[in-house]
Amino acid sequence: MRMKAAVCYGVREPLVIEEIELDPPKANEVLVKMAASGVCYSDVSMYEGHIPRDFPLILGHEGAGVVEQVGEGVTNVKEGDHVVLTYLPSCGKCRWCHIGQPTMCDLGQYLRTGNMLDGTSRLHRAKDGLDIFNLLFVSTFAEYSVVPDASLVPVADYLPLEKLCLLGCGFTTGFGSATNTIHIKPGETVTIVGCGGLGTAAIQGARISGAGKIIAVDVHEEKLSRAKEFGATHTIQSRSDPDAVVKEIMDITWGLGTDYSIELVGADQTDDTYQVAFKAIRKGGTMVMVGAADYRKRDIPVDPYTLTLWRKKLVGVLFGDAQFQTDIPKYVGLYENKQIDLDNMVTKEIGLEDINQAIQDVLDGDKVIRSVIRY
Ligand SMILES: [Zn+2]
Ligand SMILES: [Zn+2]
């Protein structure tokens, strides 16, 4: 079938909207008519070359839509089901899926190929048949997507897909970092470094866990005022001196430091953002690293002496450590009951033709929490 998609031909090359020939789903694959896709910071990190990919490529990994057709052997969804696409697959059979850690599913080893699990592409440029790589099996900057049946979660059909799409990456990644990776108890305290899409979700995770103090740190005043709407109790505009930020955190926590810090800056991570997140935590506290760093970065400036003597913990987390087949339906329920806010995370709705402006908005830093493409 023919569809329109936004194709990226190389690092920092503006995306081109063009006709793509999409093959029908093969065995254990599903054709999804996209309803909406968020424009995530990680899409922009790939566009910028901070995360390596092969080109030409259709970006987008935070999508939701309606099942149009299922391939042979698909049993978890049927035509007409509403689904959230997940940027990591979960086979349900491997060792990691069995121990409740699907973010480490063995199918993940094929995500870098840019092809489907059988090693071939379903995406071809209409004018000459050139194969196009997919992104993480989902490629949501397109009107349709053929995905493995391991890369989607069925959801309620009466809630807006243009909001539920955030569960496919940003919301789940941020919220899960505060509710799965660490288990904040009522009254405990947390520093949130970086208040974009992931940060506002982490703030909500901390709020719903009963955190006593949620200290939001960002360079943009606009993001800090939004952070308060999502539940931050204190905000600090980060300045050039990370020690000044840490001093403010100490003042707020009566000199103790917070029980946890969550670093969600992404490829803009600097020595200062690491320093703030590491120095913010108390003795025995935990620092969680969420945003994907530039793949060329090799060192985190963490003082190993303090790490040991203060018994601090530093942990990495992927996709919010979510058990996404069961966590995403739970988040849908929290959204329905208005216990979490996805609506105000979407600060701009756009068409696919606006994709290059949406990327620029992310690069500008203070324009949007999330732009969502509606198809
Ligand atoms: Zn993402
Ligand atoms: Zn698995």
pLDDT digits (tens, 9 = 90+) for 293-324: 888 888 888 899 999 999 999 999 999 999 99
H or E stretch including 195? none
Task: For residues 312 and 352, state if they share a domain.
Answer: no
Examine residue 207 and state whether it is found in any structural domain, yes or no.
yes
H or E stretch including 55? none
Examine residue 337 and state whether it is found in any structural domain, yes or no.
no
> What is the 139 CA–ligand 2 centroid distance (Å)?
21
Cis peptide before 52 (omega within 30 of 0): no
Query: Could you say which of 303, 318, 333 is where a domain stops?
Result: 318
> What is the 306 CA–ligand 1 centroid distance (Å)?
32
Task: For residues 19 and 98, state if they share a domain.
Answer: yes
pLDDT attached to residue 257: 98
> What is the 121 CA–ligand 2 centroid distance (Å)?
22
When divided into structural domains, the chain yields a total of 2
Confidence of residue 292 (pLDDT cuts 50, 70, 90): confident
Examine residue 332 and state whether it is found in any structural domain, yes or no.
no
Write down the mean pLDDT value for the chain.
96
> Which residue range is the domain that position 86 belongs to?
2-168+342-374
Task: For residues 148 and 227, state if they share a domain.
Answer: no
DSSP 84-100: EE-SS---SSSHHHHTT
**CATH code for the domain of 262:** 3.40.50.720
Task: For residues 161 and 18, state if they share a domain.
Answer: yes
Examine residue 22 and state whether it is found in any structural domain, yes or no.
yes
Q: CA-to-CA distance for 95 and 207, rounded, in angstroms?
A: 33
Task: For residues 160 and 232, state if they share a domain.
Answer: no
Examine residue 11 and state whether it is found in any structural domain, yes or no.
yes
Quote the DSSP letter at residue 354: G
Query: Could you say which of 277, 303, 318 is where a domain stops?
Result: 318
pLDDT attached to residue 259: 98
8 A C-beta contact, residue 332 and residue 167 = yes
> What is the 322 CA–ligand 2 centroid distance (Å)?
13
Neighbours of ion ligand 2 (CB under 5 A): 91, 94, 97, 105
Nearest 10 degrees: Cα torsion 324, 327, 332, 336: -170
Quote the DSSP letter at residue 131: B
Task: For residues 223 and 269, state if they share a domain.
Answer: yes
Question: Which residues 6+ apart lie within 8 Å of 229 measured at CB?
Answer: 344
> What is the 128 CA–ligand 1 centroid distance (Å)?
31
Q: Looking at the CA of 61, name the nearest ligand.
A: 1
Task: For residues 22 and 137, state if they share a domain.
Answer: yes
Query: Could you say which of 279, 302, 318 is where a domain stops?
Result: 318
Task: For residues 162 and 279, state if they share a domain.
Answer: no
pLDDT attached to residue 263: 96
Confidence of residue 337 (pLDDT cuts 50, 70, 90): very high
Examine residue 101 and state whether it is found in any structural domain, yes or no.
yes
pLDDT attached to residue 239: 74
Task: For residues 10 and 155, state if they share a domain.
Answer: yes
**CATH code for the domain of 48:** 3.90.180.10
> What is the 289 CA–ligand 1 centroid distance (Å)?
15
pLDDT attached to residue 298: 83
**pLDDT tens per residue across span 112-135:** 999 999 999 999 999 999 999 999
Confidence of residue 163 (pLDDT cuts 50, 70, 90): very high
Examine residue 129 and state whether it is found in any structural domain, yes or no.
yes
Examine residue 92 and state whether it is found in any structural domain, yes or no.
yes
Task: For residues 16 and 164, state if they share a domain.
Answer: yes
Q: Looking at the CA of 198, name the nearest ligand.
A: 1
User: Of 74, 99, 84, nearest to 151 (Cα)?
Assistant: 84
In this predicted structure, which of 81-85, 211-215, 270-274 has the lowest mean pLDDT? Answer: 270-274
Task: For residues 153 and 289, state if they share a domain.
Answer: no
- Residue 33, pLDDT > 80, answer yes
The overall longest dimension of the chain from CA atoms, in Å, is 66
Task: For residues 119 and 266, state if they share a domain.
Answer: no
Nearest 10 degrees: Cα torsion 282, 286, 291, 292: 120
8 A C-beta contact, residue 258 and residue 191 = yes
8 A C-beta contact, residue 203 and residue 232 = yes
8 A C-beta contact, residue 260 and residue 266 = no
**pLDDT tens per residue across span 356-375:** 999 999 998 877 889 999 99
> What is the 94 CA–ligand 2 centroid distance (Å)?
4
